């Protein structure tokens, strides 16, 4: 198949994935609000740019980054070099996260809302080091064949314990920071590393041992960021909620697409900087460690260029389309003064954005191949989307009522730990990974804008405490839904076996 034909297929795939979001927003605008939103033309242009950006980005990954990443994983596994595998895992995890656009956006919002209390570079550094370290540990787990469920139970018990003592200003941000580490770059690369190792090592099961790296990459930053918050908020007074709301509104006014040529070039250079760490790590290990030439180098370089241009187009499309849609919908729903519409929109947009999530589609397909008929990708996507929809609806309910996020988060992960003990072993690693892949490029902008928009416009809500956290709910409840699905399927299979 020619590159042009492949790109057209990817373009249609991207358009089909974004269609549910457009349908949900259009239905609410026409049936509930009965009017067109302000700036409709810019939003439509933004969505079209998002489609092209995602298509370029995914095609670039397939041509440039994925083949080298998979080759490196196989080479290290074949050499049997544990130290180099762990070093490669650390730098791969660190490089893909330190310049993650969603993390940069969340860190910037946290700095604005906390009035400088939270340093965005420190926050990003902590998250990136956490992810790098835990990917290295995850590589060791696959090589030694250690069971993931004990690591996850112990890890989330630690998360819950730290949450109990963490200041409420940091809890939502910490869980959101864990959620945004997994994107359409990170997830396929880390998942490919785990699956490649599990396939290359004799006695390892790709479904049980190959998955789990993404789950670990989501979990550990939640701990480190909360500990950072304990230090930060112990040393001084919390920012004034009124000033925080004003800062959010002012920052929103500034987050526009640059109109000058200089501004556009500056943003493009920023995208180069965002992708450069990933390319640098891959090229270093390819030439300095493996010491082999890259096959089809011109096509690989062309793929790198497509990744950068696609990411740039995607971010421009976000600013024109997805960010304004999230903020506009939050404002209109509150003005409607009917809580049921808020719940309906939260459920519908959670379901639609998840069904459109590229990372979920990729992991679902990998799971279907690894499971050899035990798991269907389309069923997994539906179960995960239902979990996200329920989670975001519960998160919106928390913002509306002003309940403590501590209770919801601790209760949610207590349920996850309980279900982990009951679930069949084959589903645990996949379930935790699926909880991470729901919060990627398509989901994060809409959900973040919705949460901060609600906290900004509802009287008595703190943007720092209540605005963050929706991404956390979008991560917890898919784990619950997938585990419940596996438990029910296993129960039905056992009943049929007994009857026969």
More confident residue, 221 or 437: 221
Please give the pLDDT value at position 247: 47
Give the lowest-confidence range in 85-94, 219-228, 385-394. 85-94
Segment 247-268 shows an average pLDDT of: 57
Asked, for residue 429, whether it belongs to a domain, the answer is: yes
Confidence label for 462 from pLDDT (cuts 50, 70 and 90): confident
For the chain, report the end-to-end CA distance as a whole number of angstroms. Answer: 48
pLDDT band of 254, cuts 50, 70, 90: very low
Whether the pLDDT of residue 56 is over 90: the answer is no
| Amino acid 260: pLDDT | 57
Q: Lowest-pLDDT range, 216-225, 321-330, 373-382?
A: 321-330
For 409, the domain range is 3-494
> Which of 198 and 192 is assigned the larger pLDDT?
198
> Is the pLDDT reported for residue 393 higher than 90?
yes
pLDDT tops 70 at residue 185: no
- Distance between CA 176 and CA 451 in Å, rounded? 11
Task: Give the count of domains, the chain.
Answer: 1
pLDDT tens digits, 355-370: 877 667 777 777 777 7
pLDDT band per the 50, 70, 90 thresholds, residue 183: low
pLDDT for the residue 386:
94
**Residue 104 placed within a domain:** yes
Rounded to an integer, the average pLDDT of 250-278 is 64
CA distance 169 to 466: 8
94-119 per-position pLDDT tens digit:
877 876 767 777 787 778 777 778 88
Query: What is the predicted pLDDT for the residue at 331?
Result: 80
Q: Is residue 251 very low, low, confident or very high in pLDDT (cuts 50, 70, 90)? A: very low
| Structural domain includes residue 281 | yes
Tell me the mean pLDDT in the region 283-308.
Answer: 81
Is a pLDDT exceeding 80 seen at residue 167?
yes
Mean confidence (pLDDT) of the chain: 79
- CA 437 to CA 181: how far, in whole Å? 9
Asked if residue 300 is part of any domain, the answer here is: yes
Over 70: is that where the pLDDT of 188 sits?
no
Task: Kindly give, in sequence order, each residue whose CB lies less than 8 Å from that of residue 477, ignoring residues fewer than 6 positions away.
Answer: 387, 388, 390, 391, 394, 412
Q: What is the pLDDT of residue 73?
A: 67
Is the per-residue pLDDT at 186 higher than 80?
A: no
Whether 499 is covered by a domain: the verdict is no
| Domain assignment present for 306 | yes
* The pLDDT of residue 2 is above 80: no
Whether residue 372 is contained in a domain is answered as: yes
Model pLDDT, residue 384: 92
In a domain, 425, yes or no: yes
User: Are the CB atoms for 332 and 33 separated by under 8 Å?
Assistant: yes
Whether 480 shows a pLDDT value over 90: the answer reads yes
Tell me the range of 3-7, 224-228, 429-433 where mean pLDDT is highest. Answer: 224-228
pTM, to two decimals: 0.75
Per-residue model confidence (pLDDT) at position 149:
77
Per-residue pLDDT, 414 = 86
pLDDT in tens, 422-444: 888 888 888 888 887 776 666 67
Alpha-carbon distance 181 to 131, whole Å?
Answer: 8
- Among 200-214, 308-322, 464-478, the range with the most confident prediction by mean pLDDT is 464-478
Closest CA to 267 of 311, 305, 307, 303: 311
Query: Over 80: is that where the pLDDT of 255 sits?
Result: no
Q: What integer is the mean pLDDT of 217-229?
A: 88
């Amino acid at each position: 198949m020619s590159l042009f034909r492949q790109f057209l297929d990817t373009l249609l795939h991207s358009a089909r994935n974004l269609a549910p979001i457009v349908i949900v927003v259009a239905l609410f605008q026409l049936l509930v609000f009965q009017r067109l939103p302000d700036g409709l033309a810019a939003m439509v242009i933004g969505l079209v740019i998002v489609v092209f950006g995602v298509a370029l980005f995914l095609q670039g990954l397939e041509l440039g980054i994925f083949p080298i990443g998979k080759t490196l994983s196989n080479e290290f596994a074949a050499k049997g070099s544990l130290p180099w595998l762990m070093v490669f895992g650390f730098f791969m995890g660190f490089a893909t996260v330190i310049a993650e656009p969603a993390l940069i956006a969340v860190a910037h919002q946290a700095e604005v809302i906390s009035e400088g209390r939270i340093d965005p570079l420190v926050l990003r550094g902590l998250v990136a080091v956490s992810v790098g370290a835990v990917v290295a540990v995850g590589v060791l787990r696959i090589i030694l064949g250690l069971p993931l469920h004990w690591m996850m139970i112990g890890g989330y018990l630690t998360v819950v314990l730290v949450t109990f003592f963490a200041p409420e200003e940091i809890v939502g941000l910490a869980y959101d920071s864990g959620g945004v580490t997994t994107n359409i770059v990170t997830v396929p690369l880390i998942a490919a590393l785990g699956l490649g190792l599990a396939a290359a090592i004799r006695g390892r099961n790709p479904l049980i041992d190959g998955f789990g790296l993404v789950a670990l990459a989501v979990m550990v930053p939640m701990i480190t960021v909360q500990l950072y918050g304990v230090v930060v908020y112990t040393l001084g007074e919390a920012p004034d909620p009124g000033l925080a709301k004003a800062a959010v509104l002012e920052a929103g006014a500034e987050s526009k697409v640059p109109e000058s040529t200089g501004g556009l070039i500056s943003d493009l250079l920023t995208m180069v900087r965002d992708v450069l760490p990933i390319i640098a790590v891959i090229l270093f290990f390819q030439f300095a460690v493996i010491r082999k030439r890259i096959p089809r180098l011109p096509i690989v370089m062309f793929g790198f260029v497509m990744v950068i241009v696609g990411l740039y187009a995607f971010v421009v499309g976000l600013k024109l389309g997805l960010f304004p849609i999230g903020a506009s919908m939050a404002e209109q729903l509150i003005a409607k003064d009917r809580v049921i519409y808020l719940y309906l929109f939260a459920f519908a947009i959670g379901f639609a954005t998840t069904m459109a999530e590229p990372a979920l589609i990729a992991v679902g397909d990998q799971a279907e191949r690894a499971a050899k008929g035990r798991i269907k990708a389309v069923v997994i996507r539906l179960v995960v989307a239902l979990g996200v929809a329920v989670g975001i609806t519960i998160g919106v309910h928390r913002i509306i009522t002003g309940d403590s996020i501590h209770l919801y988060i601790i209760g949610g992960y207590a349920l996850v730990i309980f279900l982990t003990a009951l679930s069949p072993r084959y589903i645990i690693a996949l379930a935790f990974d699926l909880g991470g892949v729901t919060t990627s490029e398509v989901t994060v902008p809409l959900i973040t804008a919705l949460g901060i928009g609600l906290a900004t416009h509802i009287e008595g809500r703190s943007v720092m405490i209540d605005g963050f956290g929706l991404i956390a709910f979008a991560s917890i409840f898919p784990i619950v839904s997938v585990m419940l699905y596996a438990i029910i399927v296993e129960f039905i299979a056992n009943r049929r076996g007994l009857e026969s």
